[in-house]
Amino acid sequence: MNIKEKDNLYIANTYARFPLVLKEGKGSAVWDEDGKEYIDLGTGIAVNTFGFSDSEWVNAVTKQLNTLQHTSNLYFSEPCADLAEMLCSRTGMKKVFFSNSGAEANECAIKVARKYAAEKKGAEYNTIITLKNSFHGRTITTLAATGQDVFHKDFLPLTDGFIYCEANNCEELKRLVETNKIAAIMFETVQGEGGVLPLTDEFVKTIFEIAKANDILTIADEVQTGNGRTGKLYGYMNYGVKPDIFSTAKGLGGGLPLGATVLGEKVENVLNPGSHGSTFGGNPVACAGAVNILSRITDELLNEVAEKSQYIVEKLSNAKGVKSVSGKGFMLGIETEKDAGSVIAECQKNGVLVIKAKNKVRLLPALNIPMELLEKAIDVIIEACKEN
Ligand SMILES: *Cc1c(COP(=O)(O)O)cnc(C)c1O
């Protein structure tokens, strides 16, 4: 049996995989089982922050792996303390809870919001507003938070207490807050899975004004937008606001599973011993890698991301067959005249890996992609978008 046959036989049938077996990668280059080379603009869905098998990250991870691989949270260990300090000092937040995925990071954010609101305002203040077209994860509760019926339909009943507001609709948000007992408003600053759609400045401003006036918590889901992806360290920083809670995962670990729920002043003491936990959370190997990743997301790098992003947007906006380009930084969605799936397949054929978001072609390049590779890849995408 070859790899594809074995996978089809033994792995639960949840993924529509591309017809490629990836075997080896270095930076933004990756090779399939036949030795064909690709330029990768997908980074394993915004996970490989510095590309494949980045040497500095590999060194940090293997050093820790050769020292101590796991402690459980019954003991103290250095890498998770260092990473928590780094996250707080770079954001002005106060405390961190570590987990292993985006869904888990969001679960923690939701638990914190419910507990805060119950203690402060009363148990009936348990409703969380999320946005239509959002994506927050695949557990029963984060599915409930996800404002897309297609993800819900086979898994009812979901966790109670979520209502949905149209993104960028300030009037609807005001109405929902007036007519419900709200604990928190949760949002992605750029909806990733929903089609790479940024929130407007006005809407984000309104969220924070309403939240402040009503003692409602703000939760930024930075699972995809975080860790430099949008050209700022966290996506909310594009808007000059600071949430009470943010969750992150994907790019934080640079390729190892790691989630973090980062808590601001208002909620820093909401969790107490026994109220939450995770066996693998804060794993030393994942955290040692993340310390390396985060320490390299400097202002200088972020400026480069912003400049390269501008290059991509300009080139693609003027390309034939491209209707629009949305997103921020290195999180971009291309609306194409041709079907996105066929553009992606054409790119693959010509040695460039891009992914999909709804009906768009999504680009999530490594933050350190060399300009030369980026230029080559964009030329391939432009060619693939043309009608033929
Ligand atoms: C990917 C994603 C999640 C879920 O993360 P997992 O690690 O797959 O659980 C949650 N929120 C957003 C915004 C995401 O992009």
How many angstroms separate the Cα of 186 from the Cα of each of 44, 132, 163, 311? 25, 11, 10, 32
- Do 54 and 290 touch, CB atoms closer than 8 A? no
Per-residue pLDDT of the chain (388 residues; tens, 9 = 90+): 999 999 999 999 999 999 999 999 999 999 999 999 999 999 999 999 999 999 999 999 999 999 999 999 999 999 999 999 999 999 999 999 999 999 999 999 999 999 999 999 999 999 999 999 999 999 999 999 999 999 999 999 999 999 999 999 999 999 999 999 999 999 999 999 999 999 999 999 999 999 999 999 999 999 999 999 999 999 999 999 999 999 999 999 999 999 999 999 999 999 999 999 999 999 999 999 999 999 999 999 999 999 999 999 999 999 999 999 999 999 999 999 999 999 999 999 999 999 999 999 999 999 999 999 999 999 999 999 998 7
Q: Which of 48, 104, 136, 230 to mutate to test the pocket of ligand 1 (most atoms within 8 A of CB)?
A: 136
Sign of the Cα pseudo-torsion (170, 176, 178, 183, in order):
negative
**Does ligand 1 have an atom closer than 6 angstroms to the CB of 224?**
yes
The CA R_g of the chain, rounded to the nearest whole Å, is: 21
Give the pLDDT of residue 387: 82
Q: Which two tokens stand for residue 29?
A: 């280059």
Q: Which two tokens stand for residue 150?
A: 């297609």
DSSP states along 279-291: SSTT-HHHHHHHH
For residue 265, which of 223, 218, 320 has the smallest C-alpha distance? 218
DSSP H/E element including 95:
strand 95-99
- Report how far ligand 1's centroid is from the alpha carbon of 259 (Å): 10
End-to-end distance of the chain based on CA atoms, in angstroms?
A: 37
Give the pLDDT of residue 315: 98
Tell me the one-letter amino acid at 93: M
* Calpha distance 43→189 (Å, rounded): 20
Give the pLDDT of residue 154: 95
Beta bridge partners of 35: none
* Calpha distance 218→210 (Å, rounded): 10
How many angstroms separate the Cα of 220 from the Cα of each of 211, 236, 284, 325? 13, 7, 25, 23
Give the pLDDT of residue 361: 98
Q: Say which DSSP state 147 is in.
A: B
**Does ligand 1 have an atom closer than 6 angstroms to the CB of 223?**
yes
How many angstroms separate the Cα of 371 from the Cα of each of 225, 297, 351? 22, 17, 16
Q: For residues 329-346, b (16+ Cβ closer than 10 Å) or e, as one string?
A: bbbbbbbbebebeebbeb
* Calpha distance 114→185 (Å, rounded): 11
Closest approach atom of ligand 1 to CA 102: 5
Is the pTM here over 0.75, yes or no? yes
DSSP states along 174-207: HHHHHHS-EEEEEE-SEETTTTSEEPPHHHHHHH
**Does ligand 1 have an atom closer than 6 angstroms to the CB of 329?**
no
Give the pLDDT of residue 161: 98
**Does ligand 1 have an atom closer than 6 angstroms to the CB of 107?**
no
Tell me the one-letter amino acid at 325: V
The number of angstroms, rounded, from the C-alpha of 151 to the middle of its chain's C-alpha atoms is: 18
